[in-house]
Amino acid sequence: MQITETEISEVLLFEPKVYRDDRGFFLETYREKHLKKVGIDIHFVQDNLSKSQQGTVRGLHYQIEQPQDKLIMVMEGRILDVAVDLRRSSSTFGKYVARELSSDNKHQMFIPKGFAHGFSVLSNNALVYYKCSDYYCPEGEYGLFWNDPSLNIDWQVTDPVISEKDQNQPKISEISKEFLF
């Protein structure tokens, strides 16, 4: 497993070793010791799987109560995965990391607590599987408007498919500090 920092150092890109042979391929999707090796001591308690059509944008979401670290991977298709820094004291507050994750490149993104997460679907469909270090807490879940001009995220999709909930999320400037990290 190759682990590299992104331009926001706490957001990491994981590149698993892929073993290919005449039958296909094998890779280990997760080993706790790989996180420990880079000083991350967390325990994932919930795994999620979502399927989305081309052009979907899911997010940007985060939990204040029961904040979640996430390890994102793509089982089918191609997404642009985005993490936005919502840590008020961070020098990269309001900045984001975006990486293409796909069933072809098998790359994974580790997104720690303190970040909002979202993704856009660049292929016909995308099956996105991710591990979370705390449980879903609907009453503690908050969102950030996907198309906030101050973030200026290029989701690489036209006419995005967005949930009504996500169309009505606040811009970062509209979020009061108790709903930030």
Ligand X SMILES: Cc1cn([C@H]2C[C@H](O)[C@@H](COP(=O)(O)OP(=O)(O)O[C@H]3O[C@H](C)C(=O)[C@H](O)[C@H]3O)O2)c(=O)[nH]c1=O
Active site residue 107: no
CB-based burial, 63-99: b 16+ in 10 Å, e otherwise: bbebbbbbbbbbeebbbbbbbbbbbeeeeeebebbbb
Residue 65 found at the interface with ligand X (CB under 6 A): no
The residue assigned the tokens 């591990």 is: 131
Told to judge if 129 belongs to the known catalytic residues of this protein, a careful annotator would answer no
Least CB distance from residue 166 to ligand X, whole Å? 7
SS3 166: helix
Instruction: Pick the stretch among 4-12, 91-99, 116-124, 150-158 that binds ligand X (CB under 6 A).
Output: 116-124
Interface with ligand X includes 50 (CB under 6 A)?
A: yes
Among 40, 61, 140, 170, binds ligand X (CB under 6 A): 61
- Which of 136, 149, 167, 168 is the binder for ligand X (CB under 6 A)? 136
How big is the site for ligand X, counted in residues (CB under 6 A)?
Answer: 10
Coil vs helix vs strand at 168: coil
Per annotation, catalytic residue among 61, 117, 129, 142: 61
Quote the tokens at residue 134. Answer: 């705390």
Contact indicator for 11, 111 with CB cutoff of 8 Å: yes
Q: Which of 34, 96, 107, 130 is catalytic?
A: 130
Measure the CA–CA gap between 138 and 19, rounded to whole angstroms.
39
If you search the block for the tokens 């198309």, which residue do you land on? 147
CB count, 10 Å around CB of 33? 7
Q: Quick one: which of 2, 48, 124, 168 contacts ligand X (CB under 6 A)?
A: 48
Q: Six-digit token pair at 82?
A: 């985005």
67 binds ligand X (CB under 6 A): no
State in angstroms the smallest separation of the CB of 23 from ligand X.
Answer: 32
Nearer to ligand X, 17 or 67 (CB): 67
- The residues that touch ligand X, with contacts defined as CB under 6 A, are 48, 50, 58-59, 61, 117-119, 136, 163
Please identify every residue annotated as catalytic. 61, 130
